[in-house]
C-alpha cells in the first residue's frame, strides 16, 4: 500500500451528487475508500461513476438544512473519513440582506458542518476507527471579503476557524482536521460567472494558472488530506486556487 492509499477506510461525503462533492467522492473511491455519497437529492450519477471504475459506493439522503440531520448517521458504522462539502450561497447587497438568507446559509455551511463533525468524531473515538480525517470545504472567502455575499463570507471564515479549533482539540486523539479553500472551480455554483464574458475574462486574467479549476483538482487534494501521507497536517486551510491568493 502506498502512503496515499485509502484501502479499508469508510468515508462519507456531503453534497456528493454534483460538482466538487461528486469529484471528491470519486477521488476517495479511486484510492480504495468505501464511500457513502450523501445528498439532499439522489447521488445515483456519482455512485454509478464510482462503481463503473471498480470502486465501492452507496447513497444516503441527508438534508443539512436541518443542521442536526447528521446525528445517528455514524455510530457503529466504521467511518474514518468525513468530507463536509455541502454548501449554499445567497447574493444580495448587505443593506438589503434578509435574516432568512443569513440563517439558511449559516445553517448549512457552518452549523450543520460543526454538528455533523461532532457526531462523526464521537463515533470514531467510541468505535476506535482512528486514525480518522475530516476535510472541510472552505473558500477564498475564508480569507477575502467578497461582495454581496455576507452570510457566505461569514460562514466560510467560520469554517476556517472551526477547522483550527477542532484540529487543536482532536490532533492528539488521532483525528486530522483540515480544510481546502477552492479557488474558482467550474461547477453549477459558478456557471453564471463563466457565462458572463467580462467577469470570466477578469477572473482568468488574475489566476496565475490561467484556467478555471476543475472539480477533480479538489478531489485529488481531499484524497491526499485523508491519507496517511497527510498524517502530520493539522488545522491547515489549503488553497487550491491556481495561485489566486498568491497574487
Among 6, 11, 12, 20, binds ligand NAP (CB under 6 A): 20
Q: How far is the CB of 187 from ligand NAP (least distance, A)?
A: 3
Report H helices in 65-149: 99-106, 112-127
Site for ligand NAP in 134-173 (CB under 6 A): 137, 139
Closest C-alpha among 218, 224, 230, 127 to residue 171: 230
Q: Find cell 460538482 and name the residue.
A: 19
Minimal distance, residue 232 CB to ligand NAP, in Å:
25
**Crossing angle of the two packed helices 19-30 and 44-52, in degrees rounded to 10:** 30
Query: Which residue among 63, 75, 169, 196 contacts ligand NAP (CB under 6 A)?
Result: 63
Q: How far is the CB of 44 from ligand NAP (least distance, A)?
A: 12
Among 36-44, 94-102, 160-168, 195-203, the segment contacting ligand NAP (CB under 6 A): 36-44
Q: How far is the CB of 138 from ligand NAP (least distance, A)?
A: 7
Count of residues engaged in binding ligand NAP, rule: CB under 6 A: 28
Q: How far apart are CA 246 and CA 59, in angstroms?
A: 38
CB–CB of 70/62 below 8 Å? yes
Query: What span, in angstroms and rounded, lies between the C-alpha atoms of 129 and 119?
Result: 13
Segment lying near ligand NAP (by CB under 6 A), choices 39-47, 143-151, 198-206, 228-236: 39-47
- The residues in 95-114 that bind ligand NAP, with binding defined as CB under 6 A, are 108
Chain residues 170-229 in contact with ligand NAP, contact rule CB under 6 A: 182, 184-185, 187-190
Q: Which residues of 211-241 are buried (b: 16+ CB within 10 A; e: fewer)?
A: ebbebbbbbbbbbbbbbeebeebbbbbbbbb
Q: For residues 145 and 161, what is the distance between their CA atoms, to the nearest angstrom?
A: 15
Q: Which residues pair with 176 in a beta bridge?
A: 133
Is residue 80 near ligand NAP by the rule CB under 6 A?
no
Q: Does 21 bind ligand NAP (CB under 6 A)?
A: yes
CB 171 within 8 A of CB 160: no
Q: Is 184 annotated in the active site?
A: no
DSSP state of 107: I
| Catalytic residue annotation | 152
Binding residues for ligand NAP, rule: CB under 6 A, are 14-15, 17-21, 39-41, 62-65, 85-88, 108, 137, 139, 182, 184-185, 187-190
Amino acid at each position: 500500500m502506498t502512503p496515499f492509499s485509502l484501502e479499508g477506510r469508510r468515508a462519507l461525503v456531503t453534497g456528493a451528487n454534483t460538482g466538487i462533492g461528486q469529484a471528491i467522492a470519486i477521488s476517495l473511491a479511486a484510492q480504495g475508500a468505501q464511500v457513502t455519497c450523501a445528498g439532499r437529492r439522489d447521488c445515483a450519477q456519482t455512485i454509478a461513476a464510482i462503481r463503473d471504475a471498480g470502486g465501492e459506493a452507496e447513497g444516503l439522503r441527508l438534508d443539512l438544512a436541518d443542521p442536526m440531520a447528521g446525528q445517528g448517521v455514524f455510530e457503529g458504522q466504521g467511518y474514518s473519513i468525513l468530507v463536509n462539502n455541502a454548501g449554499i450561497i445567497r447574493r444580495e447587497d448587505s443593506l438589503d440582506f434578509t435574516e432568512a438568507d443569513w440563517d439558511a446559509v449559516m445553517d448549512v455551511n457552518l452549523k450543520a458542518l460543526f454538528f455533523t463533525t461532532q457526531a462523526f468524531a464521537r463515533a470514531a473515538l467510541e468505535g476506535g476507527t482512528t486514525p480518522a480525517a475530516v476535510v472541510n470545504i472552505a473558500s477564498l472567502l475564508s480569507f477575502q471579503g467578497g461582495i454581496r455575499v455576507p452570510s457566505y463570507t461569514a460562514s466560510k471564515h467560520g469554517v476556517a476557524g472551526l477547522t483550527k479549533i477542532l484540529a487543536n482539540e482532536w490532533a492528539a486523539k488521532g483525528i486530522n482536521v483540515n480544510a481546502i479553500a477552492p479557488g474558482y472551480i467550474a461547477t453549477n455554483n459558478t456557471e453564471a460567472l463563466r457565462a458572463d464574458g467580462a467577469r470570466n475574462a477578469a477572473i482568468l486574467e488574475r489566476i496565475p494558472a490561467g484556467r478555471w479549476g476543475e472539480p477533480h483538482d479538489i478531489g485529488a487534494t481531499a484524497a491526499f488530506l485523508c491519507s496517511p501521507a497527510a498524517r502530520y497536517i493539522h488545522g491547515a486551510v489549503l488553497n487550491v486556487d491556481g495561485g489566486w491568493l498568491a497574487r
